[in-house]
């Protein structure tokens, strides 16, 4: 007979599922290796997608992709609404990004990741009708201290006081985009330093919430899918996150409204992903501040992954060696 505790373990994402999902992000990262620095981001993405889909099909869960790479007709993407897993085990919402940073991978730059985030079924906000989202992310000390609606200079000064740092010692991560020229100038005018990201603001948000990171805050407009994915990690880290949808035009604003979204609402992490049972798994494709990239060492391929669980509040870093002969990678 199955007791109540065992039933709960069957119905909700657990540590066993987290370890299974690592296999999928490891596979995606490893398959992307031959494409690093080759200038073909679509080729890298396809290789990672194919590997992730194959491994997910073996996992004991019924995963519904809420945050994917597009619609069903945009093959070979893992599309919104696709079911993954073998159908047994917990029913989950899932956010996937086989490579967060395809351009980084193609250029051979740092901070490309393979990412999966999971929560209980029905808890993940579907914000796919709006491409962009304005975000501010800090460690937990930012709660009640910073506010996305305040000028960035005020937020920097308030947060520096809350964490006992000089403003000049704060480092703020921002995507290096023309739309952020004024934001970057305002951060520097306040006396803080910037960490400009070429891509991959999921890693930027996570690093802002980690106590040992050199990044104190992550701000600016990035992808809505990345925002939902980041929220799963923030909940496990005990960090603070505020967002607001940023429609690009009136047509996108109307699509958001038609989808039941409030474009004027301030969404925090608990609004983006409800409940306290999230998993976040990421494997490095290229080296970065969060995890190391894939390395080939003689007969083995070495990967490094991070696993975050909000239910237990644990952060695990996993290094794994894979026999290279099993992967048949190009030299």
Q: Each residue of 189-227: pLDDT tens digit?
A: 999 999 999 887 899 999 999 988 999 999 999 999 999
Neighbour-count burial of 79, counting CB atoms closer than 10 A to its CB (0-12 exposed, 13-18 middle, 19+ buried): middle
Angstrom distances, CA of residue 193 to CA of 135, 188, 221 = 18, 6, 18
pLDDT in tens, 71-126: 543 445 688 888 999 988 889 999 999 999 999 999 999 999 999 999 999 999 99
Q: Is 223 annotated as a binding residue?
A: yes
The answer to whether the CB of 276 falls within 8 A of the CB of 310 is yes
Confidence of residue 14 (pLDDT cuts 50, 70, 90): low
pLDDT for 11 beyond 60: no
* Mean pLDDT computed over 4-16: 50
Confidence of residue 1 (pLDDT cuts 50, 70, 90): very low
The answer to whether the CB of 67 falls within 8 A of the CB of 80 is yes
pLDDT for 2 beyond 50: no
Task: Report domain 5-121+277-326's class.
Answer: alpha beta
| Distance of alpha carbon 157 from alpha carbon 163, whole angstroms | 10
3-state DSSP helix/strand/coil % of the chain, to nearest 5? 35, 25, 35
pLDDT at 15: 61
The pTM for the full model equals 0.89
Q: Is 100 annotated as a binding residue?
A: yes
Confidence of residue 9 (pLDDT cuts 50, 70, 90): very low
- In the numeric block, which tokens belong to residue 209? 């919430």
Q: Is 179 annotated as a binding residue?
A: yes
The helix (run of H) or strand (run of E) holding residue 120 is strand 113-120
| Distance of alpha carbon 63 from alpha carbon 67, whole angstroms | 11
| Distance of alpha carbon 44 from alpha carbon 36, whole angstroms | 8
- Domain ranges, ordered by start, for the chain: 5-121+277-326, 132-272
Q: Is 45 annotated as a binding residue?
A: yes
Q: Is 201 annotated as a binding residue?
A: yes
Q: Is 14 annotated as a binding residue?
A: no
pLDDT at 128: 87
Q: Is 200 annotated as a binding residue?
A: yes
Q: For the domain bounded by 132-272, which CATH number is listed? A: 3.40.190.90
Q: Is 199 annotated as a binding residue?
A: yes
Q: Is 102 annotated as a binding residue?
A: yes
């Amino acid at each position: 007979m199955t007791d109540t505790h065992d039933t709960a373990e069957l119905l909700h994402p657990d540590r066993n599922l987290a370890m299974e999902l690592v296999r999928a992000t490891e596979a995606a990262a490893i398959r992307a290796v031959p494409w690093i620095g080759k200038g073909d981001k679509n080729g890298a993405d396809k290789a990672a997608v194919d590997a992730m889909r194959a491994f997910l099909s073996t996992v004991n869960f019924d995963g519904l992709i809420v945050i994917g790479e597009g619609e069903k007709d945009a093959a070979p993407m893992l599309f919104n609404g696709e079911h993954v897993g073998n159908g047994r085990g917990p029913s989950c919402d899932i956010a996937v990004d086989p490579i967060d940073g395809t351009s980084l991978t193609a250029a051979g730059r740092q901070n490309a990741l393979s990412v999966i985030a999971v929560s209980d079924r029905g808890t993940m906000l579907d914000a796919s009708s709006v491409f962009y989202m304005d975000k501010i992310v800090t460690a937990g000390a930012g709660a009640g201290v910073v506010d996305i609606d305040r000028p960035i200079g005020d937020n920097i000064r308030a947060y520096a006081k809350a964490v006992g740092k000089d403003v000049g010692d704060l480092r703020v991560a921002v995507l290096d985009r023309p739309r952020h020229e004024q934001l970057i100038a305002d951060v520097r005018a306040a006396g803080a330093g910037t960490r400009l990201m070429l891509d991959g603001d999921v890693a930027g948000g996570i690093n802002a919430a980690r106590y040992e990171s050199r990044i104190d805050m992550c701000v600016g407009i990035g992808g809505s899918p990345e925002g939902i994915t980041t929220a799963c990690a923030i909940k496990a880290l005990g960090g603070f996150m505020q967002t607001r949808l940023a429609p690009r035009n009136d047509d996108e604003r109307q699509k958001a409204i038609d989808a039941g979204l409030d474009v004027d609402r301030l969404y925090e992490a608990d609004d983006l992903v409800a409940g306290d049972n999230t998993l976040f798994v990421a494997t490095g494709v290229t080296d970065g501040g969060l995890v190391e990239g894939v390395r080939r060492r003689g007969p083995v391929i070495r990967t490094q992954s991070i696993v975050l669980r909000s239910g237990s509040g644990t952060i695990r870093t996993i290094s794994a060696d894979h026999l290279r002969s099993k992967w048949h990678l190009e030299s």
